[in-house]
Structure 1
Amino acid sequence: MAIRSSFDKDLKRLKDDLLEMVTLAKNSVEDSVKALADLDFEKAKQIIEDDEKINRYDEKINNLVVQLIAQQQPVATDLRRIIAALKISNDVERIGDLAVNISKSILHIGNGPLIKPIVEIPKMANMALEMLTSVIEAYINEDPVLAKETAASDDQVDALYGKLTQELLELMAKNPQYIHQVTQLAFVCRYIERIADHTTNMSEHIIFMVKAKTYELNT
């Protein structure tokens, strides 16, 4: 019983670290999109610098997973919980990297008027962040139904991404002097679309954790 109690504490620590990591990544995405709307270069630089905090959590989780597998030799559901946490942390680390990429695009855009107000991009970001919030709820509650429902929302993000990309191409054709800026805005849209893709990956990991079945949701 003492061994199991210690193992349960380690599993809880693994989950808690992962949730802290998700909060940092989510905040980075929110802040990067706001920095874009405001062309806040100092905020963008801070997001890039703070990414190291997310990376440290990823390393901490990786080390804990190795320790748990080596010392406890978990099987069945316990092993799937550990592997799911490892895979989810990898996706969260990539989400943090994408927030950094958005911030770098802000710095590349530089000073000068924006070709149009940043309105639709935050909408797409909010959709992706709502997916992230939902998938973490599914992870906490080990809810495969919610995980699958969350992944289905990726289609809406993809649709808005396609619409925005088309609009940006049209703006570029009409305003060749803004090619550099529009290109960076297109990159930002792509980064946000990828955030939704990583969230869908997380849904797959949760379903596998609970059902021991592999589902391809990111198609």
Structure 2
Amino acid sequence: MSVHFQREIDHLKKQIVAVGSVVEERISGAITAVMKHDGTLARQIVEGDDEIDRMEIDVEEECLKILALHQPVAVDLRFVVAVLKINQDLERMADLASNIGRRAEYLADMPKTDIPVQLEKMSKQTQEMVKHCLDALVESNVTIAREVCIADDEVDQHNRQMHVLIQDQIRENPDDVERLLNLLSVSRHLERIADLATNVAEDIIYTVQGDIVRHGNRL
């Protein structure tokens, strides 16, 4: 491997880690806006989506340049291909954070009420999954990546509990249906973010070991 090629690979890794860091901040901000009924923070999350879009395009262009100029093979090829996929998943996470921000804007204008415990637990678990998948990316750590994959089942369970809870509360409080549906929407977006974090973890396993672990073949 030439020094120039290694420098470009290192730069690409720094780029994708930078995208991940910004996305992690946006997700955390969106969740905080929901939990604290903070409409100002919610609007900042929604308005900041363009920055992620620009970063995503920059990473994609860098990947295509490396593929065209260096034609990498083996582990280097797997890394570039994985970064292309991870880049898209991170951008989708940012979109979902913006969607949560929009729900938070609506909720901030409603009378303040308690956030369901299930949603609080789900928010914490999802943020941990995002953090850990990025840690696994930085460290090329397959063990952490596999832990992220396992954690997805817990988030799915919290999401199912939220569905049951919201259904029950709508029956008990039909006048509160809009607020409850917005909370359910937050839950669905969190569940999808967790799915995308799992995708990132699976791509890290592929990069490091060459193993395709999608479709339930994770362990």
Check 1:135–1:117 CA distance in 2 against 1; reply closer, same or farther (3 A cut): closer
- Report if aligned partners of 2:146, 2:201 keep a CA contact under 8 Å in 1: yes
Q: Who is 1:172 aligned against?
A: 170
What is the correspondence of 1:207-218 to structure 2 with a 5 Å cutoff?
207-216=205-214
Aligned AA for 1:20? A
TM-score (norm 2): 0.93
- Report if aligned partners of 1:105, 1:184 keep a CA contact under 8 Å in 2: yes
Aligned AA for 2:12? L
Q: Who is 1:163 aligned against?
A: 161
Aligned AA for 1:169? Q
Deviation for aligned residue 1:137: 1.9
Check 1:166–1:114 CA distance in 2 against 1; reply closer, same or farther (3 A cut): farther
Q: Who is 2:29 aligned against?
A: 31
CA distance in 2: counterparts of 1:215 and 1:125, whole angstroms: 25
Aligned AA for 1:137? D
Aligned AA for 1:151? C
- Report if aligned partners of 1:124, 1:157 keep a CA contact under 8 Å in 2: yes
Q: Does 1:98 align with 2:61?
A: no
Q: Who is 1:147 aligned against?
A: 145
- Report if aligned partners of 2:118, 2:161 keep a CA contact under 8 Å in 1: no
The two structures, once aligned, show a CA RMSD in angstroms of: 1.7
Aligned AA for 1:186? L
CA distance in 2: counterparts of 1:203 and 1:213, whole angstroms: 12
CA distance in 2: counterparts of 1:119 and 1:33, whole angstroms: 14
- Report if aligned partners of 1:200, 1:217 keep a CA contact under 8 Å in 2: no
Deviation for aligned residue 1:118: 5.2
**Runs of at least 5 residues in structure 1 that lack an aligned partner in the other structure:** none
CA distance in 1: counterparts of 2:176 and 2:148, whole angstroms: 36
Deviation for aligned residue 1:113: 1.5
- Report if aligned partners of 2:38, 2:108 keep a CA contact under 8 Å in 1: no
Spell out, residue by residue over 1:11-59, the C-alpha distance to the aligned partner (whole angstroms, 9 max, x if none): 1111111111111111111111111122221211111111111111110
What SS does the corresponding residue of 1:153 show, helix, strand or coil? Answer: helix
Deviation for aligned residue 1:206: 1.0
Q: How many pairs were matched up?
A: 217
CA distance in 2: counterparts of 1:20 and 1:57, whole angstroms: 9
What SS does the corresponding residue of 2:48 show, helix, strand or coil? Answer: helix
Check 1:11–1:119 CA distance in 2 against 1; reply closer, same or farther (3 A cut): same
Q: Does 1:206 align with 2:209?
A: no
What is the correspondence of 1:74-93 to structure 2 with a 5 Å cutoff?
74-93=72-91
CA distance in 2: counterparts of 1:207 and 1:155, whole angstroms: 18
Identity %: 29
Deviation for aligned residue 1:126: 1.5
Check 1:218–1:114 CA distance in 2 against 1; reply closer, same or farther (3 A cut): farther
What SS does the corresponding residue of 1:169 show, helix, strand or coil? Answer: helix
- Report if aligned partners of 2:110, 2:179 keep a CA contact under 8 Å in 1: no
What SS does the corresponding residue of 1:39 show, helix, strand or coil? Answer: coil
Q: Who is 1:61 aligned against?
A: 59
- Report if aligned partners of 2:142, 2:208 keep a CA contact under 8 Å in 1: yes
- Report if aligned partners of 1:151, 1:218 keep a CA contact under 8 Å in 2: no
Deviation for aligned residue 1:143: 2.2
Check 1:118–1:42 CA distance in 2 against 1; reply closer, same or farther (3 A cut): farther
Deviation for aligned residue 1:217: 5.3
Check 1:74–1:50 CA distance in 2 against 1; reply closer, same or farther (3 A cut): same
CA distance in 2: counterparts of 1:23 and 1:127, whole angstroms: 17
- Report if aligned partners of 2:34, 2:104 keep a CA contact under 8 Å in 1: yes
Counterpart pick for 2:122 among 112, 121, 124: 124
Check 1:216–1:168 CA distance in 2 against 1; reply closer, same or farther (3 A cut): same
